Structure 1
Amino acid sequence: MKLPAILLCAAALTASVAIAQGTPASPTAQTTPAAPADIFPPANPKFFDAASPTTAEVNAFLNVIWGYDQNRTWRVEAIQKTRAANVAKVTVFVADKSQGNKVESLRFFTTPDGKHAIADAVFSFGPHPYDDLRAMLAQRADGPSRGSANKTLELVEFADLQCPHCKEAAPVIADLQRDFPGAHFVFQNFPLVDIHPFAGQGAAYGNCVAQAKGDAAFYTYIDNVFAHQESLTPELGQQTLDNAVTAAGADPAAVKACAASPAAQAKVAAQIKLAEDADIEQTPTLVINGHPLAFGAIPYEQLKQIIAWDAKQTGAASALAAK
Structure 2
Amino acid sequence: MQLFASLRNTLFAIVFIGITSPLLHAQSTTEEVPAAPSAPAAAPRPTGPPQFPPVDPANFTVDTPSKDTVNAFLHEFWGYDPDRVWQIQAIQKTAAPGISKVTVLAAQKTSPQIGTLQFFTTPDGQHLISSEVMPFGARPFDAAHKLLLAEANGPSRGAASKNLLLVEFADFQCPHCKAAQPTVQRLLQDFPNAHYVFENLPLTSIHTEAMKAALYSTCVAKLYGNDAFFKFADLVFQNQEGLTPQTSDTTLNEAATKAGADGAKVGSCTLTPEAKASVEASIKLAQSLNVNETPTLFINGRGVPMGGAPYETLQKIVAFQEKEDK
- Does the alignment reach a TM-score above 0.5? yes
Of residues 225, 228, 238 in structure 2, which corresponds to 1:217? 228
Q: Partner letter of residue 23 of structure 1?
A: A
Query: Map of 1:19-168 to 2, 5 A cutoff?
Result: 19-20=10-11, 22-24=12-14, 26-27=16-17, 29-30=19-20, 32=31, 39-97=51-109, 100-168=111-179
Helix, strand or coil at the partner of 1:283: coil
Answer whether contact 2:125 2:136 (CA < 8 A) is retained. yes
- In 2, Cα distance between the equivalents of 1:131 and 1:201? 33
List runs of 5+ in structure 1 lacking aligned partners: 1-11, 316-323
Answer whether contact 2:50 2:108 (CA < 8 A) is retained. no
Q: Partner letter of residue 14 of structure 1?
A: A
- Offset of residue 302 of structure 1: 1.6
Of residues 293, 296, 311 in structure 2, which corresponds to 1:282? 293
Match of 2:8 in 1: 17
- In 2, Cα distance between the equivalents of 1:19 and 1:209? 38
- In 1, Cα distance between the equivalents of 2:205 and 2:268? 23
List runs of 5+ in structure 2 lacking aligned partners: 21-29, 33-45
Q: Cα–Cα, structure 1 residues 39 and 71, in superposed 2: closer, same or farther, change >3 Å?
A: same
Helix, strand or coil at the partner of 2:89: strand
Query: Map of 1:304-323 to 2, 5 A cutoff?
Result: 304-315=315-326
Of residues 180, 183, 188 in structure 1, which corresponds to 2:199? 188
- In 1, Cα distance between the equivalents of 2:122 and 2:63? 12
Answer whether contact 2:16 2:106 (CA < 8 A) is retained. no
Answer whether contact 2:16 2:116 (CA < 8 A) is retained. no
Helix, strand or coil at the partner of 2:322: helix
- In 2, Cα distance between the equivalents of 1:152 and 1:238? 38
Q: Cα–Cα, structure 1 residues 13 and 206, in superposed 2: closer, same or farther, change >3 Å?
A: farther
**Greater relative contact order, per chain length (Cα 8 Å cut-off, separation 6+):** 1
Answer whether contact 2:85 2:107 (CA < 8 A) is retained. yes
- In 2, Cα distance between the equivalents of 1:295 and 1:192? 16
Q: Cα–Cα, structure 1 residues 258 and 86, in superposed 2: closer, same or farther, change >3 Å?
A: same
- In 2, Cα distance between the equivalents of 1:143 and 1:25? 35
Answer whether contact 2:144 2:289 (CA < 8 A) is retained. yes
- In 1, Cα distance between the equivalents of 2:206 and 2:80? 35
Q: So what's the TM-score if we normalise by structure 2?
A: 0.89
Aligned length, in residue pairs:
302
Q: So what's the TM-score if we normalise by structure 1?
A: 0.89
Q: Partner letter of residue 207 of structure 1?
A: T
- Offset of residue 59 of structure 1: 0.5
Who wins on radius of gyration, i.e. which is larger?
Answer: 2
> In the TM superposition, what whole-angstrom CA distance separates every residue of 1:7-30 from its partner, at most 9, and x where no partner exists?
xxxxx852412245x333653835
Q: Partner letter of residue 51 of structure 2?
A: I
Percent identity (aligned) = 44
